[in-house]
Structure 1
Amino acid sequence: MHELQQHVLDTFRAAFGGAPALVARSPGRVNLIGEHTDYNDGFVLPCAIDFDTMVAVSPRDDAEVHVVAADFAGDTDRFSLAGAIGHHPHGGWADYVRGVLAMLREAGMPATGANIALAGNVPRGAGLSSSASLEVALALALRHLHRLEHLDNTALALLAQRAENSFVGCNCGIMDQLISARGVAGHALLIDCRTLAATAVEIPASFVVMIIESRVKRGLVDSEYNLRRQQCETAARVLGVAKLRDASLAMLATAGPELDPLILRRARHIISENARTVRAAEALAAGNMRRMGQLMAASHASMRDDFSITVPAIDQLVALLQVAIGAEGGARMTGGGFGGCVVALMRASQVDAVRAHVLQHYRSPDGQAAIVHVCQAGAGAGLVD
């Protein structure tokens, strides 16, 4: 039995005195290319990774929900489905649970309580979307528990996003929840964030995904994220389009003095990043990892120069990786920016040498070595036998 599965089962038994009715799992994710394009109705190319959250559930005969979180020192939460679901006094992990339950109630879930245990191995605070992994795993478990067949995995992803947007208060796009719900083993997904259409793109079997935590704490993310959204909306208004997804570089060139130079650079990143993401999916599908590496490098340069969301330590880490990997594969910052993680694609045979190169030559501004994770593209959410 998988170590994480055993952990969630042991946690459930210790808290509730028996075995659960079912266990669901949902993965974290990393985005290979397509940064800040999701809220501009654009394209992203993430893959699910082989780090998961598992949720064990059983029904109760009352309206109470009792939750235990193995990864937070066995912390617990209790609330009722009999009335409105309020926020936890201290927020945190419990609000993600409460938010999902609130959205499921709106979607027709009966007010029947549940015993719930949570456990996960998605690194928290690393930009690998442990929150979406939790939301989708919980939604999937309760869908099966209550036989809510009208909710497919895309509907669960949208429900989980609403929980994060309207209950937790984080204005995220749909990418994290959708790749967690619909990931395909061995593949990335080219997601159209306007239509939610997703095309599976195979990652060559000889290549792995390396995720490197820079140990640079992600400062300014919330305020700068919201500012970037506003700047993109301003650019779209000036260009006369609904979203920057609908704009072109030619339109940008003719806008001239109407666009503030800073707003122009922000728009240029989004427009060029959308095009790069589509071309990256084509390169990956063709097994052209040289071209994929070039597009990842161009994406990083655009995030650095036009969107201004990288920091010097991240730029240094990407440069180190690009040298160590060589022409076949590549590296770029991934996530909201201002710290966090770098994602790299490389041959499996290069992993040891690349890891050693990073651990020898990189230190964060406060002197910490990077944390390196080697992943395979995993499957999306499902029940655990």
Structure 2
Amino acid sequence: MEYRKWMEYLSTSAGQDLLAQLYGSGHAAGALERYGQLMQRHVQRTGAPEIRLFSASGRTEVSGNHTDHNHGLVLAAGVTVDTLAVVSPRADRKINVVSEGFPEAFEISLDALEIDEKAFGTTQAILRGIARNLCDRGFTLGGFDATVASSVPVGSGLSSSAAFEVLIVEIMNQLFCSGKIDGIARAQIGQYAENVYFGKPSGLMDQMACSLASMSLIDFEDPQKPKVERIAYDLEKAGYALVVVATGGDHADLTDAYAAIPQDMKAAANFMGKDFLRQVAVEDFMAAIPQMREKIGERPILRALHFFDENARVLRQAQALREGDVQTFLSLVIASGQSSWRLLQNCVVPGRLEQGLPLALALSERYLRPVGGAWRVHGGGFAGTIQAFVPLDEVEGYIAAMSEVFGPHSCTRLGVRNLGAMELKAEA
């Protein structure tokens, strides 16, 4: 559809309703301006008369901190920030992506999709990995131009990288695969590109949450066939807003700290004769603790205890949401955060004076406990972001208080998005 017709449609009540579903009520007007600017930019650089629109949300981990890599349970949600693309086909076999904030285009040829270790860590590697996986599934791809912009704050823990990956998969899915790639496969293809071509050994949770959106209970007992239950729940109708606070912590030199968590859990599982903690019975583990303490030390035991407790907690939180019991849900959010701090130990970096993450948690507890809110570490931990569930009438005050400490752009208010990675369609 032409740029002008897209703008006309997005200005109608149906178009405004679609934008409200993607970004929350009250944000449709700002979204329309954002779409208009990106479409104009794409048309100016490509001259394409017909354009298509695609969106993939960021994600938040609600519970299940560091459980997916041991085949555990996660409660995650797509949120009302996204990576957006304006797309048009090309006549050749090149994929050309221009992304807001980057001076040069990212371009690959579909005739050169081999793994290139020198390209690890690059956007081109992600594009090649996705294209290679789809070709291996038997699809014939073609070239396209994409102009991309993201409202997912970088460093917020909301998975801007996973949103980009599943967005690219969905573009190729709709242009060349007749929409045959479902939401789970879309996430797996994004993970494949990140693991094999980008060189980052990540789990599947980020891509799954961005691909599926909504509030989702995800069971990774079999990572090749994860089980997903989408839970319809309107947080704002229950009287709460979700706020993520970026503490400005430095992730440099934290690779070893992050890697030690799955390593410790694996050591505990291996002691029990298993590959992953999900395969270990809790009662057997508890009985083995005296011998385990002598052989592998205490930290792996504590982190394994977090895994077992967190898995059980995720199921209880999902049940609370099904029943509309927001108070039980919030109490379990707090318990999840306390477990991450005490047992998982991913809130403080030993030896560092910089401790923005625990400071944000401590300040949030002081502000939110008296008003019935909840708080926890968000994502990998050690540095970065926290997550807060804030009563609606306290949102402005909470954001003001946290912004005074962590800066004017540290807080992002979010809603849960119920539409997964998608191509936008204009209703007839």
- Work out whether the TM-score is over 0.5: yes
Aligned to 1:45, the other structure's residue is in SS state strand
Partner Cα distance (1:370, 1:9) in 2? 27
Match of 1:142 in 2: 172
C-alpha contact 1:4 1:54 (8 A) present in aligned 2: no
Q: Does 1:10 align with 2:50?
A: no
| Residues 162 and 7 of structure 1, relative CA distance in 2, 3 Å threshold | farther
Matches within 5 A, 1:72-111: 72-73=102-103, 75-85=104-114, 87=116, 91-111=121-141
Partner Cα distance (1:248, 1:19) in 2? 60
Match of 2:84 in 1: 54
Partner Cα distance (1:19, 1:257) in 2? 70
> Gaps (5+ residues) in structure 1?
none
Aligned to 1:100, the other structure's residue is in SS state helix
Aligned residue type for 2:366? V
Q: Does 1:213 align with 2:246?
A: yes
- The answer to which of 160-169 and 64-73 deviates more is 64-73
Following superposition, the deviation at residue 284 of structure 1 comes to 2.8
Partner Cα distance (1:329, 1:118) in 2? 36
Aligned to 1:105, the other structure's residue is in SS state helix
Matches within 5 A, 1:355-370: 355-360=399-404, 362-363=405-406, 368=407
C-alpha contact 1:292 1:329 (8 A) present in aligned 2: no
Aligned residue among 200, 209, 213 for 1:183: 213
C-alpha contact 1:35 1:44 (8 A) present in aligned 2: yes
Match of 2:193 in 1: 163
Q: Does 1:264 align with 2:301?
A: yes
Aligned residue among 329, 333, 348 for 1:296: 333
Following superposition, the deviation at residue 111 of structure 1 comes to 4.3
Partner Cα distance (1:169, 1:276) in 2? 32
The count of aligned residue pairs is 376
C-alpha contact 2:75 2:318 (8 A) present in aligned 1: yes
Aligned residue among 360, 363, 367 for 1:324: 367
Q: Does 1:193 align with 2:220?
A: yes
Q: Does 1:336 align with 2:336?
A: no
Partner Cα distance (1:358, 1:69) in 2? 31
Partner Cα distance (1:284, 1:218) in 2? 33
Partner Cα distance (1:90, 1:179) in 2? 24
C-alpha contact 2:108 2:124 (8 A) present in aligned 1: no
Aligned residue type for 1:315? P
- The answer to which of 96-105 and 267-276 deviates more is 96-105
Residues 61-117 of structure 1 deviation map (CA, whole Å, 9 limit, x = unaligned): 2222222122323x2122211233455758433332332223222223324222222
Partner Cα distance (1:298, 1:262) in 2? 19
> Gaps (5+ residues) in structure 2?
1-9, 11-31, 349-354
C-alpha contact 1:212 1:373 (8 A) present in aligned 2: yes
Following superposition, the deviation at residue 44 of structure 1 comes to 0.8
Matches within 5 A, 1:56-71: 56-71=86-101
Partner Cα distance (2:420, 2:160) in 1? 14
C-alpha contact 2:113 2:131 (8 A) present in aligned 1: no
Partner Cα distance (2:234, 2:305) in 1? 28
| Residues 339 and 98 of structure 1, relative CA distance in 2, 3 Å threshold | same
Aligned to 1:338, the other structure's residue is in SS state coil
C-alpha contact 2:141 2:172 (8 A) present in aligned 1: no
Aligned residue among 228, 236, 241 for 2:261: 228
Partner Cα distance (1:19, 1:50) in 2? 29
Identical columns (%): 26
| Residues 124 and 93 of structure 1, relative CA distance in 2, 3 Å threshold | farther
Match of 1:285 in 2: 322
- The answer to which of 26-35 and 202-211 deviates more is 202-211
Residues 220-268 of structure 1 deviation map (CA, whole Å, 9 limit, x = unaligned): 4432222221211111111233421233442232113332212111111
RMSD of Structure 2 on Structure 1 (CA): 2.1
| Residues 384 and 221 of structure 1, relative CA distance in 2, 3 Å threshold | farther
TM-score by length of 1: 0.90
Match of 1:30 in 2: 60
TM-score by length of 2: 0.82
Following superposition, the deviation at residue 10 of structure 1 comes to 2.2
Residues 256-292 of structure 1 deviation map (CA, whole Å, 9 limit, x = unaligned): 3332212111111111111111112222333333322
